[in-house]
Homo-oligomer: A and B are copies of this chain.
Amino acid sequence: MSLIQPRTLKGFRDLMPDQALRRADIVRVVEDVFRAHGYGPIDTPILEYAEIIKGKGGGEIDKEIFEFIDKGGREVAMRNDLTVPLARYVAQHEGKLVFPFRRFHIGLAFRGERPQRGRAREFLQCDADLIGPVGVAADAEAMIVMAAVYAALDVGKVTLRVNDRRILTGLLEAVGAPDQAAPVLRALDKRDKLGDETVRKEMSGVGLDDAAIDRVLAACTPGESDEATLAALEGLVGETDAGRAGIDSLRQVRRLFEAAGQDPATLRIDPSIARGLDYYTGIVVEAQLDDLPDIGSVGGGGRYDDLAGLYTKSHMPGVGFTVGITRLMDALDALERGGEATCTTEAMLTYPGDEHLTEAFAFSAALRRAGIASEVYPQPKKHGQQMRYADRRGIPFVFTRNEDGTFHGKRMSDGETLRCSDASDAVGWMRPT
């Protein structure tokens, strides 16, 4: 019989044991931070009705969706994010959920057919949202949870660049172009790449005069300090209700962030942050690692007005954010902080010959009862082969039964040895107090 070639689809990949272990450890840390702040998990199906997943979307996004007709004739699609499923979920279960509703969701999402190099078509998405409340307490909480997530991950200092979309709304009102938010944002989005001249031309093309453009560019430039930025914004947009609301809210968010014991330097008010055209309506945030600015955003989010308008007439405002798990794994790699551990085993018992296998099993079990992950080499191979296995896996301690019934322990890192009369000797050696 001919063999089937073992391979994965383009854009899909296996996680090797060290990668999977690292990702699992990151996910646990993130979950623990969410839980500590009152966020609990939910789950929704990978596969949904296509009309749910595609919603009112269209064009570019739709092309990327994995969709098909199932054997029952239904048009189905694999979810391409966790936001649409969340919207459908809160609409469907509105009567059973307790609002304000805090949830996190860590799950796979799927996007296909964009021929970018290395682009993953299956990726782990990690979102937290607080649905229901409108106001500064909820906004500040989102920033605090975000900061706590990165602080727990040992990725060095993180900056949360925050803005409030109402400042832009106020700004456009102040310059007499209240309906030009979309093109102005699109232009501003290109500022870093294409420079001010290109941006000015685009804004001029949608009817802003030079004075208005000056004011927009000034307002969307961060100052030397948050105080300087806020003072400048006061002057430029403080006269409008929306601008005023945005500025006041950012001030209060800073105050609450600091009250919660977070380093105020983590939060940086940056009026150039916009994040998308349609969705966000209040605070917006992007996270970046101070030690790896080039890696790009490692998370972001903001406030939205109406999460589930496609599915229910109930008004569902909220604030939420995404944590970029995959990018954080890359960051830990780059920072060489991923940890050395490629295996969970701390101690291995060699296979001493069938006649002493029960003693090896007993010793290994005693180590586990003391909280030490332990395994017995599972077949009667030569001692050297068993030691090579321990070495390749990175198991830190190996124990071998001596003829006199004691055990010989070896620390693999430096070759130090210990003769142990029982497992508690070994525990004392491995975990000196």
Say if the beta carbon of A430 comes within 8 Å of chain B.
Answer: no
Query: Is A134 interfacial (CB-CB < 8 Å)?
Result: yes
- Interface flags for A50-79 (1: CB within 8 Å of B; 0: not) read 011001000000010010111110101010
A38 contacts across to B, CB distance below 8 A: 343-345, 348, 373-375
* Binary flags per residue of A104-135, CB closer than 8 Å to B gives 1, else 0: 00001010110000000110000000101111
At the interface with chain B, which of A11-19, A189-197, A414-422?
Answer: A11-19
**Using Cβ atoms and an 8 Å threshold, which residues of chain B touch A63?**
71
Residues of B within 8 A of A5 (CB): 311
**Cβ 8 A contact of A40, one of B71, B88, B141, B343:** B343
Contact residues in B for A167 (Cβ distance below 8 Å): none
Contacts A4-B51, A260-B362 known; A72 to B14 CB distance under 8 Å? no
Q: Is A250 engaged at the interface, CB distance under 8 Å to the other chain?
A: no
Question: Is A184 an interface residue, CB under 8 A from the partner?
Answer: no
Give every chain B residue within 8 A of A313 (Cβ-Cβ). 3
Report A's interface with B, CB cutoff 8 A. 3-10, 12-17, 20-21, 23-24, 28, 31, 34-49, 51-52, 55, 63, 66, 68-72, 74, 76, 78, 88-89, 91-93, 96-100, 102-103, 108, 110, 112-113, 121-122, 130, 132-138, 140-141, 144, 255-256, 259-261, 308, 310-313, 343-345, 348, 351, 354, 357-359, 361-362, 364-366, 368-369, 373-380, 389, 392-393
Which residues of chain B come closer than 8 Å to A88, judged between CB atoms?
6
In the complex, the answer to whether A98 meets B389 with C-beta atoms within 8 Å is yes
Chain B residues with Cβ under 8 A from A108's Cβ? 46, 108
A7 engages B49 (CB within 8 Å):
yes
Give chain B residues whose Cβ lies under 8 Å from the Cβ of A122: 45-47
* List of B residues within 8 angstroms of A377 by Cβ: 100, 137
Question: Taking each of A7, A31, A36, A108, which has the highest tally of chain B beta carbons within 10 Å of its own beta carbon?
Answer: A36
Q: Decide: A42 and B24 in contact? CB cutoff 8 A.
A: no
Shortest distance from the beta carbon of A222 to any chain B beta carbon, whole Å: 25
- Chain B residues with Cβ below 8 Å from A17 are 40-42, 97, 103
The distance from the CB of A244 to the nearest CB of chain B, in whole angstroms, is 16
A36 and B70 alpha carbons, distance in the complex (Å): 41
22 inter-chain pairs at a CB distance below 8 angstroms, sorted by A residue, are: A3-B312, A9-B45, A9-B49, A9-B70, A10-B72, A12-B47, A14-B93, A15-B43, A17-B103, A34-B344, A35-B344, A36-B368, A38-B348, A38-B373, A47-B78, A66-B68, A66-B70, A134-B379, A137-B357, A141-B376, A141-B378, A256-B357
A21 to B46, CA, bound (A): 18
Query: Do A12 and B45 touch (CB < 8 A)?
Result: yes
Copies of this protein in the assembly total 2
Please give 15 more A-B residue pairs, beta carbons under 8 A apart, in addition to A7-B52, A10-B72: A14-B45, A16-B42, A16-B93, A36-B344, A36-B368, A38-B344, A38-B348, A38-B375, A46-B122, A47-B121, A98-B393, A100-B379, A108-B108, A135-B378, A261-B362
The distance in angstroms between the C-alpha atoms of A345 and B7, with both chains bound, is: 44
B374 & A36 in contact (Cβ 8 Å cutoff): yes
A100 and B389 in contact (CB under 8 A), knowing A14-B43, A38-B373, A46-B108?
yes
Of the candidates A15, A48, A313, the one having the most CB atoms from chain B within 10 angstroms of its own CB is: A15
Bound CA–CA A96/B16 (angstroms): 9
